[in-house]
């Protein structure tokens, strides 16, 4: 079995486990506050990643890292592990799991738009077309007016995906600056320890002792910290060495499928026809967003002619 096929299988397994983690999160948020879930699961993730990186793999932070590199890592930590991880449980609590995953998948499009300004990368014609299709999908998906609690949930998702999209661009810029010489595992672990520490401090100040009623809830917190944070980060860094980034992104977008099926089966969530159509358009649009052929300037010249 070649390395690419192994990476694809590993990715799909982790995505299935993470989708199940989202379902478990929805269940546990019925009995504990979002803040409690956020900071305790992050704390678990921090411990597991630190042990894996510094004790099991015996990796060390390289000496002589410049200020620019440190600022990039701090930005990744704040955006990905403070802002995103703190807002996500609030969104899951207030929205159906499928809707939460659906809106969250727009991160690829937000990343593409941000890259125009941060990395000066101009999208291709097909990428713009794919983004337009995905946006049409969201208008079809949300056919009915949103309730006030849903609006807050959507807002939390938007804040989270903007933060992670910024992280994606900064991570790419970091790779360019360091010429890919800095270990992805080290970057992820340090960023998690920085951003996660802020989340944990907030939790200790405003939510200590944590309001976790039973062992089942603690089990879900452990699952989220180990699977959705630690193993998710580790495996994602690993598969990016075997798969191209656009291939990994397309596989990542399939979480909407796995999460939807699990939500229907376990949570008994119901999906209307317009929601299925919206998800289909989103997936198709996200696939097109990964295609870099055809310059946008060519379209401009075609319209002028």
Residue 189: is its pLDDT beyond 90?
Answer: yes
Q: In whole numbers, what is the pLDDT of the chain averaged over residues?
A: 84
What letter would DSSP give residue 295? B
Q: Please indicate, yes or no, if residue 128 is contained in any of the structural domains.
A: no
pLDDT at 182 over 60: yes
Q: Range with the lowest mean pLDDT among 39-53, 127-141, 203-217?
A: 127-141
pLDDT tens digits for 69-85? 999 999 999 998 999 99
CA gap 234, 50 in Å, rounded: 11
Answer whether residue 31 is part of any domain: yes
- Look at residue 292 in the predicted model and tell me its pLDDT: 58
Q: What angle do CA 29, 32, 37 make, to 5 degrees?
A: 75
Q: How many domains does the chain have?
A: 1
Residue 295, in any domain of the structure: no
> Crossing angle of helices 255-262/273-289, nearest 10°?
160
* Cα–Cα distance for residue pair 279/98, rounded to 1 Å: 10
pLDDT tens-place string over residues 196-233: 999 999 999 999 999 899 999 999 999 999 998 988 87
| pLDDT at residue number 206 | 93
Between residues 177 and 53, the one the model is more confident about: 53
Evaluate whether residue 139 is within a structural domain: no
**pLDDT, tens only, 235-263:** 776 676 666 665 666 777 778 888 888 99
Q: Are 97 and 275 in contact (CB under 8 A)?
A: no
Q: Considering the chain, what percentage of its residues have pLDDT values greater than 70?
A: 89
pLDDT of residue 147: 75
| Angle, helices 107-118/148-177, rounded to nearest 10 degrees | 50
Residue 11 has pLDDT above 70, yes or no: yes
Query: What radius of gyration, in Å, describes the C-alpha atoms of the chain?
Result: 20
Q: What is the pLDDT of residue 296?
A: 47
Bridge partner residues of 295 (DSSP) = 124
Structural domain of 225: 3-121+147-243
pLDDT in tens, 20-43: 999 999 999 999 999 999 999 999
CA distance 194 to 197: 5
Task: Examine residue 126 and state whether it is found in any structural domain, yes or no.
Answer: no
Between 125-141 and 273-289, two packed helices, what is the crossing angle to 10 degrees? 160
Is 66 a domain residue?
Answer: yes
What pLDDT digit, counting tens, does each position of 112-124 carry? 788 888 877 777 7
Q: Given a cut of 80, is residue 275 above it in pLDDT?
A: yes
Q: What is the pTM of this model?
A: 0.84
Has residue 157 been placed in a domain?
Answer: yes
The verdict on residue 303 lying in a domain is no
């Amino acid at each position: 079995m070649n390395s690419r096929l192994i990476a694809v299988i590993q990715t799909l397994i982790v995505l299935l486990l993470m989708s199940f983690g989202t379902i478990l999160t929805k269940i546990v948020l019925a009995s504990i506050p979002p803040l409690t879930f956020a900071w305790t699961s992050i704390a678990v993730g921090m411990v597991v990643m630190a042990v894996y990186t510094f004790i099991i793999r015996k990796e060390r932070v390289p000496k002589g890292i410049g200020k620019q590199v440190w600022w990039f890592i701090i930005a990744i930590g704040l955006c990905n592990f403070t802002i995103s991880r703190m807002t996500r449980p609030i969104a899951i609590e207030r929205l159906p799991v499928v809707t939460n995953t659906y809106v969250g998948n727009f991160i690829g499009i937000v990343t593409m738009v941000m890259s125009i300004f941060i990395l000066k990368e101009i999208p291709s014609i097909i990428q713009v077309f794919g983004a337009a299709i995905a946006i049409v999908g969201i208008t079809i998906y949300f056919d009915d007016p949103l309730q006030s609690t849903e609006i807050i949930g959507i807002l939390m998702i938007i804040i989270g995906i903007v933060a992670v999209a910024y992280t994606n661009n900064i991570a790419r810029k970091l790779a360019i600056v360091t010429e890919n010489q800095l270990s992805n595992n080290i970057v992820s672990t340090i960023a998690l320890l920085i951003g996660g520490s802020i989340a944990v401090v907030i939790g200790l100040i405003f939510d200590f002792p944590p309001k976790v009623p039973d062992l089942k809830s603690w089990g879900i917190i452990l699952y989220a910290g180990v699977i959705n944070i630690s193993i998710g980060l580790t495996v994602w860094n690993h598969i990016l060495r075997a798969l191209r980034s656009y291939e990994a992104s397309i596989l990542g977008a399939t979480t909407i499928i796995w999460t939807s099926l699990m939500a229907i089966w376990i949570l008994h969530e119901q999906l209307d026809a317009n929601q299925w159509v919206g998800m289909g358009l989103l997936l198709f649009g996200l696939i097109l967003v990964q295609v870099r052929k055809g310059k946008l300037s060519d379209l401009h010249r075609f319209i002028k002619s």
